[in-house]
Structure 1
Amino acid sequence: MFKNFRGEEGQEKSNDESGESKTPKIEEITIPSVTEMAKAGILFSPVNGGISDISFDVKTCTLYLPVVELDVNTEVYLRNLVAYEACVAAGPLVMARYTELMNGIIDTEEDAKYLRERGIVLNHLKSDKEVADLWNGMSKSVKLTKVPKMDKVVADVNKMYGETWRVKSSKYLKKYVFASWQILTLLAALFMLFLTTLQAFCSVYVCARVFHQLPEIPGSEGAT
């Protein structure tokens, strides 16, 4: 899937074609993990093709990713491709952006397992944890670049994810419930202080005797 990555670069126009020097910045894709998206109802499906075929179908909530085969040599191979692309590419760093995308959506071995079970990751490593470690260990791009098509996919995924009821309810709890933890803590402290005071009072004055000596309410006998 990586053999045509130079051709895919040509399909995207760079935002840095002017050749002006810029201070290198680390750019990271902000996107939920695979398991987070799956819980929100977003589906994953393999697509025949390469990086340029990555897409997101808003109607079916399906993220299409190219099939990637991983073995003991993959990490070195990917790093060499990213380094080579950074040296020769006149356009945006498509390969680097792809590794950032995979780094963003794969955080744990559960994420790797989910993609493996759907035929997106062909794992020839020892475990799903090694797959997660591989992507999490990939260095991020140091050139501030944009890949319009891939960035649109990420934006569409984030928008769809943010509109799901699970995420909305989570944001609501964080905003209106968890944000008021200071008030809840104060109320709990006051309640504990009240209980401590009551316990101290009852240790000096027998509470049962005190309540027994209280005058009876007139008419209470007739009510019984």
Structure 2
Amino acid sequence: MLNLKFIGLFKEISPFKMMEEYPTIQVSKSAHLLDFLYHMIVPNILEGQDTIEVEFKQGEEEEEGNEESNADFSQLPWKTVSNLPGFKVLKQPLEYLFSQNGGESENSSSNSSLKNKPPSVEEITVPSVTELLNSGVRFLPTNGSILNITFDAKTCTFYLPTIGLDANTEVFLKNLVAYEASVASGPLVVTRYTELMNGIIDSDEDAKILREKGIILNHLKSDKEVANLWSGMSKLLRLSREPLLDKVIEDVNKYYNGRMKV
């Protein structure tokens, strides 16, 4: 009965409304409600596949020893963050990336360190929806979750899950991103998804196109609000590598950069 209630709640508040199948999750094995909601989107089968590397974009420097609580997870003092359950798995890569020189370790001269270094902004950039559309790419909705995102180079089709955006979506996704960073033992899938959406939506025109294609179900006031939502989603967390979505980004860039007009 509790499992059915949790699934019902997920269907009600999850922005991914068109999922055809839901993973089988035992409520008794979920740490709490947020843990359950997260694994409805990212099944346990993906955990432990790859090593996680996260880049934190630091804002203003905080005074050392400042233990004052902060509602923004990304701005929590390092001592507090490092003590979160499950965060030990991230400790080494985060300490490597938290240095003041932009995330470079003192020992980053070795080839292995350079290889594992998080990609720069340029390396994760993807063309906008408008640019892709003008280069011949079609956008089609898929009845699934983040794991169903694909790009078919043969048919020039970009498949993205249908997502409903309303006043609660940003809060829902930000909670998943924060929780994912603190406990996940595999790729930060939700974080990478927000980076992808932020990358392809640069303007209200991009948001409008995805809305007209049925990929975005906009319950906000305007397409501009949709663009603003994605641009503000993941300014502080960025995953270095995530096999599923990184392959899609690579394929999209390869197609776009190979066009004669580009």
Equivalence for 2:145: 50
Equivalence for 2:97: 23
The answer to whether structure 1 residue 41 and structure 2 residue 140 are counterparts is no
Equivalence for 2:210: 115
Letter aligned with residue 135 of structure 2: A
**1:56 and 1:11, CA in 2 relative to 1: closer, same or farther beyond 3 A?**
farther
Contact persistence 1:51–1:98 (CA under 8 A): yes
What TM-score do you get using the length of structure 1 for normalisation?
Answer: 0.68
**1:134 and 1:143, CA in 2 relative to 1: closer, same or farther beyond 3 A?**
closer
**1:139 and 1:9, CA in 2 relative to 1: closer, same or farther beyond 3 A?**
farther
**1:43 and 1:76, CA in 2 relative to 1: closer, same or farther beyond 3 A?**
same
State the Cα deviation string for residues 99-140 of structure 1 (Å, max 9, x = none).
Answer: 000000001000000000000000000100000010011123
The answer to whether structure 1 residue 142 and structure 2 residue 237 are counterparts is yes
Structure 1 residue 88 displacement after superposition: 1.3
Q: Percent identity?
A: 55
Work out the CA distance in 2 between the residues paired with 1:129 and 1:56: 26
- Residue ranges of structure 1 left out of the alignment (5+ in a row): 168-224
- Residue ranges of structure 2 left out of the alignment (5+ in a row): 1-15, 18-36, 54-88, 104-117
Work out the CA distance in 1 between the residues paired with 2:238 and 2:261: 35
Structure 1 residue 144 displacement after superposition: 4.3
- Taking only aligned residues, the RMSD between alpha carbons, in angstroms, comes to 2.2
Instruction: Give the one of 60, 65, 72 matched to 2:155.
Output: 60
- 1:205-224 alignment runs, 5 A limit: none
The answer to whether structure 1 residue 10 and structure 2 residue 65 are counterparts is no
Moved more, 101-110 or 130-139: 130-139
Contact persistence 1:109–1:128 (CA under 8 A): yes
Q: Which stretches of structure 1, 4 residues or longer, exceed 4 Å deviation after superposition?
A: 24-28
3-state SS of paired residue (2:237)? coil
Letter aligned with residue 166 of structure 2: D
Equivalence for 1:130: 225
Instruction: Give the one of 137, 153, 158 matched to 2:253.
Output: 158
Structure 1 residue 92 displacement after superposition: 1.2
- 1:59-98 alignment runs, 5 A limit: 59-98=154-193
Work out the CA distance in 2 between the residues paired with 1:92 and 1:9: 11
Aligned length: 167
What TM-score do you get using the length of structure 2 for normalisation?
Answer: 0.59
Structure 1 residue 12 displacement after superposition: 7.0
Task: Give 1 or 2: higher helix fraction.
Answer: 1
3-state SS of paired residue (1:166)? coil
